[in-house]
Amino acid sequence: MKILIAPNNFKESISASGAAAAIDSGIRSTFSAADTFCLPLSDGGEGFVDALVNATSGTKINCRALDPLGRTISGYYGQIDKKTAVIEMALVSGLERLKENEKNPWLTTTYGTGQLVKDAIEKGFNRIIMGIGGSATNDAGMGMLQALGVEFYTQSGDLITGSGAQYLPEVDCIDPDGLEKSIRGISFVVACDVTNPLFGPQGATYVYGPQKGADPDLLSTLENSVLHFHQKSMKQLKIDKSGRPGAGAAGGIGYAMMAYLNAEMQPGFDLVAKHTFLEEKVKWADLIITGEGKIDDQTIRGKVISRLANLTRKHSKRLLVFGGMVENTVVIDGVERYFSILEDAKDETDSMKNAARYLSKMAAELRFL
């Protein structure tokens, strides 16, 4: 039997590549004759670089950068061909970099993400693919732009040297000359599966701000700050990208990528599927096993598993789903059966701490393969 193992990231429990390895180990321990192929997936958030690097036999390039609170950390990005670099925003500017009590989108910055882009450009890459899921920020991409050479000035003419949403209201004048020189001849593609505009009830702040640590009072302040930044940007650039689908992604970095870098937005799953030749591998397999940390109503709305289910259904393939937790209400057309780590684990803490062991055990016990 040919088995494609294609999980998404299990968040803080285990990476997509780790989950694939654990499932593969479990299958091989019981079904030695199985022909398995591991293909970790991502929709642009956590695991994006790993998914593309693994699928293309690429390499990782280490780079020091600032985390969301301005602390120097070790980051990396991927190289998938001679001219293409793949950057995962979450690796340096993501919620995964913060403790629960550190989440505060008024203070967090995308500056570190800009440092990764700058390093890739300086190393000669002329095509940048960026996954922007899982961010801890709401600075409309101002920090990233600062790292790439954009200068922002206050009404009194002072250069703004700090970064984070707290500085958005201070912006009065924008000088993009440094950016224009640094990105000349560079093309940008953004992997983004959300369609939110920059501001408004469905915008960056009100939809995603609470999960990044914003209380109701801060949400209003952030929204006004992002609106102010957009107005100043529009005055300088003479274009309005605020209402474009994806402008509100990752705290507004989607807006900055489109308005300042002329980036092309592409659905994250489609981009990963293309570079990993996912459909061809689905055709090859007799059985596909996927999974992610939490299988709930969000999973149905265009996420990795539902998109993969569309492919398996198209080619009449069997699909099994492993989850850290699986809500009983979830029904995805094309999924044959769901398996939950919590069925074996003592509690949620145990399931997260020992995810690899439980995934391997579940795979080993698939008696109907």
Among 243, 266, 289, give the residue marking a domain's end: 266
Q: Is the per-residue pLDDT at 86 higher than 80?
A: yes
In DSSP notation, 83-120 reads: TEEEEETHHHHBGGGS-GGG--TTT--SHHHHHHHHHH
pLDDT band at residue 369 using 50, 70 and 90 as cut-offs:
low
Q: Is the per-residue pLDDT at 201 higher than 80?
A: yes
Q: Quote the pLDDT of residue 46.
A: 83
Q: Is the per-residue pLDDT at 330 higher than 80?
A: no
In 3-state terms, what secondary structure has residue 12?
A: coil
Q: Quote the pLDDT of residue 5.
A: 96
The answer on 201 and 114 residing in a single domain is yes
Q: Which residue has the higher pLDDT, 314 or 294?
A: 314
The answer on 286 and 202 residing in a single domain is no
* pLDDT digits 0-9 by tens, 4-59: 999 988 877 888 899 999 999 999 999 888 999 999 998 888 889 999 998 899 99
The answer on 177 and 32 residing in a single domain is no
Report the greatest alpha carbon distance in the chain: 72
Distance CA 145, CA 173 (A): 14
Distance CA 103, CA 97 (A): 10
Q: Quote the pLDDT of residue 265.
A: 95
Distance CA 10, CA 309 (A): 18
Among 213, 235, 266, give the residue marking a domain's end: 266
DSSP label at residue 276: H
The answer on 175 and 297 residing in a single domain is no
Q: Is the per-residue pLDDT at 323 higher than 70?
A: yes
Across 28-37, 74-83, 264-273, which has the greatest mean pLDDT?
74-83
Q: Is the per-residue pLDDT at 322 higher than 90?
A: yes
Domains of the chain: total: 2
Q: Do the Cβ atoms of 321 and 295 come closer than 8 Å?
A: yes
In the chain the first and final C-alpha atoms are separated, in Å, by 8
Q: Is the per-residue pLDDT at 367 higher than 90?
A: no
Q: Encode burial over 133-147: b for 16+ CB neighbours within 10 A, e otherwise.
A: bbbbbbbbbbbbbbb
The answer on 150 and 19 residing in a single domain is no
The answer on 146 and 24 residing in a single domain is no
Q: Which amino acid is at 169?
A: P
Q: How many CA atoms lie within 13 A of 157 on its CB side?
A: 0
Q: Quote the pLDDT of residue 160.
A: 98
Among 266, 299, 315, give the residue marking a domain's end: 266
Q: What is the mean predicted confidence (pLDDT) over 112-132?
A: 97
Distance CA 260, CA 59 (A): 28
The domain in which residue 301 lies consists of 2-41+276-364
Q: Tell me the pLDDT of the chain averaged across its residues.
A: 93
Cα dihedral sign, 122-128-131-132: positive
The answer on 252 and 163 residing in a single domain is yes
156 Cβ partners below 8 Å, 6+ apart? none
The answer on 186 and 94 residing in a single domain is yes
Q: Do the Cβ atoms of 347 and 322 come closer than 8 Å?
A: no
Closest CA to 339 of 319, 356, 318, 362: 362
Q: Quote the pLDDT of residue 366.
A: 86
Closest CA to 151 of 173, 182, 121: 173
The answer on 196 and 228 residing in a single domain is yes
The answer on 185 and 80 residing in a single domain is yes
Q: Quote the pLDDT of residue 44.
A: 84
Q: Is the per-residue pLDDT at 299 higher than 80?
A: no
Q: Is the per-residue pLDDT at 348 higher than 90?
A: no
Q: Note whether residue 271 is domain-resident.
A: no
Q: Which amino acid is at 153?
A: Y
Q: Quote the pLDDT of residue 326.
A: 83
CATH number at residue 306: 3.40.50.10350
Q: With 0.85 as the threshold, say if the pTM is over it.
A: yes
Q: Note whether residue 369 is domain-resident.
A: no
What does residue 76 show for φ and ψ, rounded to 5 degrees? -160, 165
Q: Quote the pLDDT of residue 327.
A: 80
Q: What is the mean predicted confidence (pLDDT) over 305-316?
A: 93
In 3-state terms, what secondary structure has residue 212?
A: helix
Q: Quote the pLDDT of residue 300.
A: 61
- How many other β-carbons are positioned within 10 Å of the β-carbon of residue 368? 8
DSSP label at residue 319: E
The answer on 312 and 184 residing in a single domain is no
* pLDDT digits 0-9 by tens, 125-161: 999 999 998 899 999 999 999 999 999 999 999 999 9
Q: What is the mean predicted confidence (pLDDT) over 88-101?
A: 94
What percent of the chain is modeled with pLDDT above 70? 98
Axis crossing angle, helix 216-237 with helix 253-261, rounded to the nearest 10? 0
Q: Is the per-residue pLDDT at 215 higher than 80?
A: yes
pLDDT band at residue 368 using 50, 70 and 90 as cut-offs:
low
CATH number at residue 196: 3.90.1510.10
The answer on 81 and 20 residing in a single domain is no
